[in-house]
Homo-oligomer: A and B are copies of this chain.
Amino acid sequence: MSEAAARRRGRGGGGAARRAERTAVSIETAKYIERNIPLFEVLNEEALDIIEQNAETVLEEIGVNFVENPKALERWREVGADVEGERVRIPRGLARELIKTAPGEYTQHARNPERSVVVGGRNLVCAPVYGPPFVRDMDHGRRYATMEDFEKFVKLGYMSRWLHHSGGTVCEPTDIPVNKRHLDMLKTHMTLSDKPFMGSVTDPSRAQDSVDMCGILFGEDFVRDNTVMTSLININSPMTFDEVMMGALEVYARNNQACIISPFIVGGAMAPVSVAGTLTQVLAEVMAGIAYSQIIRPGAPVIFGAFVTSIDMNSGAPTFGTPEASLITYGAGQLARRYGLPFRSAGSFNGSKLPDAQAAYETANSLNLGLLSGVNFMLHSCGWLEGGLVSSFEKFVMDADQLGALQNMARGVDMTENGQAMDAIREVGPGGHYLGCAHTQANFKKSFWRSDLLDYKPYEQWAEEGERDTMTLANIKVKQTLANYQQPALDPAISEALDAFVSEKKASMPDAFS
């Protein structure tokens, strides 16, 4: 409450903002998943020690490359690394020492304080798919994504009860110039949703634009003192940190904004074909990346990321929801916890071209993994199709529905007297029926998770209604949701200031499409 009050004051919107908030339509959203269940761990202490020691050896003997970034090399030299050309060799223990200042959890504020998320600890924050250049729906098939598609996904995300975060590049709006689309994307997240969102990372100047636009939305003072974005910094595995991503990281870390530091690994191509080998490389890369963030600003919030998938050795295609990727993710979660860092991994990963059974098997394998491996920030938690090339409208609502199952699974087992239900067992007795008993009547509403999408009808009714499959039901749900969408209120002064910022920026440079 006091945070919310502080934010409102900081924003400076005054009476208009308060009026807007009072009249806002409130969309019911789960805040985030708080796990009341244990985590699943595949590695024992000895295995963790080996991987840790090997990662230190990688950093010390092999090192990592910071590419086209002389300032970064200078910074590394200053803290005691051995720099040779662009290669940075980090003495044993140094990265580990540097990452100690990274916080174990942080709050990412949303403009609606009800939607702020705490990233870390036992929490799981779910954000939608990120990055696809294509979209697909049943009505129009597969096509390049546009700004109109982007807006629809933000609306769907806002309306999704089990989605906690609006995400970032929910699809690439390919109809907007590359050097300007981040402005429209950010404005869309800021105005069509009130959930937390991600900043741009495709250029350091765009990261700065993101910070500046947040200054307008939240108030500059507020942004100075609080984290209002979580952005995705990919590492070019193996062991390469490019100047664009590091430039964006520098902007965000300097501004106390959170970054996911994430190796991007197709196993067998960007990392060894073995689980332990991949974990070693992941750990070395993340330690180097997070250490660098802490060199920029000690205490800057970061997430231990791991995007990991396997490869089909017949065709070279990346494969998803596979057992090896699962083992790596479980192990990576253990490593993140070993260093007390929030963890990002898993998502609605699949290699299917359609939101069919393959898509769902692979996705469910990965979503379950996300819950049990201790993921704190699950990017791509809904909407991912075709190995990440496609944002699927139907799959977005299908996956978002399944996130509700994770949320309920995380509740764990109620061992109170009511949960034990001995009265019910006594009341019903052998051969009886529980539907009508007092305990059932008192508890049924919140006892079982119920899908808002899937088909629970008797066969005959389902057949009469046209034998609709899940994709068809999801297509209807997408249309209903968009039809029911109501924009969350925003102080008109803020909205106008954002428009002005975007217009000015756009006018300041020619369009670029690559």
Contact = CB atoms under 8 A, between A and B. Distances in A.
Interface residues of A, number: 125
Interface string A249-276: 0000000000000000001111111111
A61 B422 CA distance: 11
Contacts of A244: none
Contact of A268 (B386, B405, B440): B440
B470 A358 contact: yes
Contact of A470 (B281, B356, B402): B356
B456 A312 contact: yes
Interface in A429-468: 429-435, 439-440, 443-445, 447-451, 454-459, 462-463, 467
Interface string A386-409: 100100000100100010011011
A177 interface: no
Nearest to A407: B323
A231 interface: no
Contacts of A301: none
A57 B433 CA distance: 20
A354 interface: yes
Interface stretch (A73-81, A100-108, A411-419, A500-508): A411-419
A27 interface: no
A274 B418 contact: yes
Nearest to A67: B431
A469 interface: yes
Nearest to A356: B469
A144 interface: no
Number of copies: 2
A430 B63 contact: yes
A326 B445 contact: no
Contacts of A305: none
A323 to B, nearest CB: 4
Contact of A455 (B61, B353, B389): B353
A442 to B, nearest CB: 9
A405 B350 CA distance: 14
B268 A434 contact: yes
Contacts of A322: 405, 408, 448-449
A243 interface: no
A194 to B, nearest CB: 28
Given A43-B413, A54-B422, A323 B449 contact: yes
Contact of A425 (B280, B331, B409, B457): B280
A39 to B, nearest CB: 9
A246 to B, nearest CB: 14
A480 interface: no
Contacts of A327: 37, 409, 412-413
Given A356-B357, A357-B360, A323 B50 contact: no
Nearest to A364: B364
Given A280-B420, A462-B353, A430 B65 contact: yes
Contacts of A421: 272-274, 276-278, 280
Contacts of A413: 42-43, 47, 275-276, 327, 331
A364 B358 CA distance: 10
Interface stretch (A185-193, A232-240, A481-489): A232-240
A41 interface: yes
A22 interface: no
A357 B470 contact: yes
Contacts of A87: 430
20 contacts: A50-B415, A51-B420, A63-B430, A87-B430, A268-B435, A274-B424, A274-B447, A277-B424, A310-B448, A315-B457, A319-B451, A323-B405, A324-B448, A327-B413, A353-B462, A357-B359, A358-B360, A361-B398, A364-B365, A389-B459
Given A312-B456, A323-B406, 16 more contacts: A51-B420, A61-B426, A62-B429, A238-B432, A268-B448, A271-B434, A272-B439, A277-B419, A319-B450, A352-B470, A355-B357, A356-B357, A357-B471, A357-B474, A358-B360, A361-B364
Shortest beta-carbon contacts, A-B, top 9: A277-B421, A364-B364, A360-B360, A323-B409, A272-B421, A239-B430, A357-B470, A357-B360, A273-B447
